[in-house]
Structure 1
Amino acid sequence: MLNLVTDRVALCYIFYKLKFIIMKMYYFTDPMCSWCYGFSPAIKKLKEEYPNIDLEIISGGFSPYSTQVVDDEYKDFLLYHWKNVNARSGQYFNHSMKFISETFRYDSEPSSRALMVIKEISPKQDFEFLSLMQKAFYVDGNDITNDIVLAGLAEEIGIDKSDFLKLLRSDEMKLKTNQGFQFSRQLGVQGFPTLLTIENGAVKVITRGFLDLSSLKEVVDNWLNSLSVPQPGVGQSCSGDTCEC
């Protein structure tokens, strides 16, 4: 009986200590993934309310190097999914899509590279910058594949435009951005948004696809309490609640 009591006390102490251990979690996203935009309020709250989780953004590459033009057919495709994201998340979308032009391509590499630059220059502002890009694209209709637009957003968080552009256009940042895409593939990330951890060398998926805040917190609480990660179902390409690459 004494051993049982002792074991229970020890177990409770372990869980108590775990509350103060910094747990590493990776957030795989993409600035031009609409479900990630819908997920952004929940992930922001997660970061605020769980300071013991070291949440690192990885731009996984939803559509890097894409040559997709936004013609009438593709615009209808986007509008269909944007309406679904709005219905689930409440996030506002500007359906005018002012970013459309003869030169615009749905290439998410430049905005992913811009996020990598912010992580290099001012890593504590990476979530803030990601939110700025999402707002610029989905709400203001700005072309976030454009270097000058991206530099203007960087300036909004206090970063010198010329410094930003120099790094954005460097081979080093292009390489690091591509490494982020490769890291995503190596870990088996198939859609965005995705939250996962690496425990004892094994990839543990926490959630894949859109969740509201209460559902997200339930999943994360279960993971923190049990140190095991529930495996979600598989979604479809840019339908349901996730954008697949």
Structure 2
Amino acid sequence: MKLVYVFDAYCGWSYGFAPTLAELVRRHPDLDVEVVSGGLFTGTRRVPIGEFGYVQGANAEISELTGVRFGAGYARLIADGSFVMDSEAAARGTAALRQAAPDRIVELAAALQHAFYADGLSLSDPDTYRALAGAHGLDADALATAFASPEAAAAAQGDFTRTAELGVRGFPTLLAVEGERVVPLATGHATVEEIEQRLTALSTAS
């Protein structure tokens, strides 16, 4: 059995779920976790952030429920309102990080979200990936090149296809996958204890 984590780097609820997933992985280092980008802001949903009037209210709810904090850099983007969240670019970045350090992708996906939600950095900017590389011991030039590569673009589209095939419509979603069996463990929010209980129930039922 492995876990499949379907998230979007520009999804506030995914940002809130990141510490929970990190703790789950810390408690269960034997778990194989695949990280897939969902494609929340693509096509007609690629509009200035100011057009999403619910953002600040949702962020307050996310903070209250999960304890994550939204930083000053991000607050400036919200106040300005012109920033466009492009999930295709974020998915390319996730694919590049996944290629660079597959065994650390849970950690790096969380770092990618921190770059946006804490520091207000664009996930469409190669310099963001250079900064991430420097902070996490990766090759900055190689990561920036991978982010802009056709391979990363293809991987992003592959992630969106996989998300659809898994039937995922909301982010974040954590799934347990074993053969043809796909079982949701968390959608939107769950505690580590709740996820562990569901994993235990699955193991017992197997």
Report the counterpart of residue 194 of structure 1 in structure 2. 173
**What secondary structure sits across from 2:49 in the alignment?**
coil
Task: Provide the rounded CA distance (Å) in 2 between the counterparts of 1:221 and 1:202.
Answer: 16
How many angstroms does 1:102 deviate by? 7.9
Moved more, 123-132 or 180-189: 123-132
| CA offset digits 1:79-129 (Å, max 9, x no partner) | 011011111111111365234668631112212211111111211221221
Report the counterpart of residue 179 of structure 1 in structure 2. 158
Root mean square deviation, CA, Å: 2.0
Normalised to the residue count of structure 1, the TM-score between the two structures is 0.75
Match among 93, 96, 101 for residue 70 of structure 2? 93
Alignment length (residue pairs): 203
Contact 1:42/1:216 (8 A) holds in 2? no
Report the counterpart of residue 35 of structure 2 in structure 1. 57
Q: Which has the higher contact order (CA 8 A, sep 6+)?
A: 2
Match among 132, 150, 156 for residue 135 of structure 2? 156
Alignment CA distance shift 1:123-1:149 (3 Å): same
| CA offset digits 1:6-48 (Å, max 9, x no partner) | xxxxxxxxxxxxxxxxx21111111111111111111111111
**What secondary structure sits across from 2:36 in the alignment?**
strand
Q: Any gaps of 5 or more consecutive residues in structure 2?
A: none
The answer to whether the aligner puts 1:145 opposite 2:124 as a matched pair is yes
The alignment-based identity, stated in percent, is: 26
- The aligned amino acid for 1:44 is A
**What secondary structure sits across from 1:192 in the alignment?**
coil
Contact 1:98/1:142 (8 A) holds in 2? no
Moved more, 169-178 or 195-204: 195-204
How many angstroms does 1:139 deviate by? 1.6
Match among 191, 194, 197 for residue 218 of structure 1? 197
How many angstroms does 1:68 deviate by? 0.9
Higher helix share: 2
**What secondary structure sits across from 1:217 in the alignment?**
helix
Alignment CA distance shift 1:133-1:99 (3 Å): farther
Instruction: Please give the residue correspondences for 1:1-245 in structure 2 after superposition, counting only pairs within 5 Å.
Output: 23-65=1-43, 66-71=45-50, 73-74=51-52, 76-94=53-71, 97-99=75-77, 104-227=83-206
- Between structure 1 and structure 2, the one with the greater Rg is 1
Task: Provide the rounded CA distance (Å) in 2 between the counterparts of 1:104 and 1:170.
Answer: 23
Normalised to the residue count of structure 2, the TM-score between the two structures is 0.88
